[in-house]
Chain A
Amino acid sequence: GIQVEQSPPDLILQEGANSTLRCNFSDSVNNLQWFHQNPWGQLINLFYIPSGTKQNGRLSATTVATERYSLLYISSSQTTDSGVYFCAVVGAGGTSYGKLTFGQGTILTVHP
């Protein structure tokens, strides 16, 4: 099946700093989503972005499908941005019924 690798595994920032999280995937995808998992375990949708670029406030994401990677940018980070960020994809090949394959996540800690 499709493989998803996220980097870095851990990231520690000072409030106000910018950061870039990366997601590499091993095959073509029909769906790519970025999530933020809060300390209570809730997965919060950030972006649905199988290709192209999107922005939402301080967050933006870019997926280059032909090169099989996606980037999540966080600008002017705040302590509330802390948590785990997951990239998840649906492989384009075969019958996947839309099931998501997740990466291992990036643990982001933002200090005041």
Chain B
Amino acid sequence: DTGVSQDPRHKITKRGQNVTFRCDPISEHNRLYWYRQTLGQGPEFLTYFQNEAQLEKSRLLSDRFSAERPKGSFSTLEIQRTEQGDSAMYLCAVTELSQETQYFGPGTRLLVL
């Protein structure tokens, strides 16, 4: 148990639809990250939150993507007008400010048809 849950675990959607994923750390973690992993590749950084502040966004995060962490606890990642290229595993990771080890959730596997 990594202390991070993600919902849903799997999502199939049609191109053009909007989808939203949720990441729930079990306990309080100051830092929260989103990564995306496509088939055969390592995960790639998308965005970073320190408490409720979004401090960094990757160039991979186009304007169709938006992420929030409204109360500094759970986070959501929304993709608008999905494209087939958005098909990937979306991973959430957390760490505490005083530590460096990142712990990953089980991921949400998205398939865009």
Interface residues of A (CB under 8 A from B): 4, 30-31, 33, 35, 40-45, 48, 50, 86, 88, 90, 95, 97-105
Contact = CB atoms under 8 A, between A and B. Distances in A.
Contacts of A105: 41-42
13 contacts: A42-B104, A42-B107, A45-B101, A48-B101, A90-B100, A97-B55, A98-B95, A99-B33, A100-B43, A100-B45, A101-B45, A104-B41, A104-B42
A30 B91 CA distance: 22
Nearest to A100: B102
Interface string B70-113: 00000000000000000001010101000011111011010000
B50 A97 contact: yes
Report whether over half of chain B's contact residues are helix, strand or loop; otherwise say mixed. strand
Contact of A88 (B42, B48, B56, B89): B42
Contacts of A88: 42-43
Contacts of A90: 100
B89 A97 contact: no
Given A99-B48, A102-B42, A104-B41, A42 B100 contact: no
A9 to B, nearest CB: 10
Given A41-B107, A45-B102, A99-B56, 11 more contacts: A4-B42, A30-B100, A40-B106, A41-B37, A41-B89, A43-B104, A48-B101, A88-B43, A97-B56, A98-B102, A103-B42
Given A90-B100, A100-B102, A43 B44 contact: no
Interface string B11-24: 00000000000000
Contacts of B41: 104-105
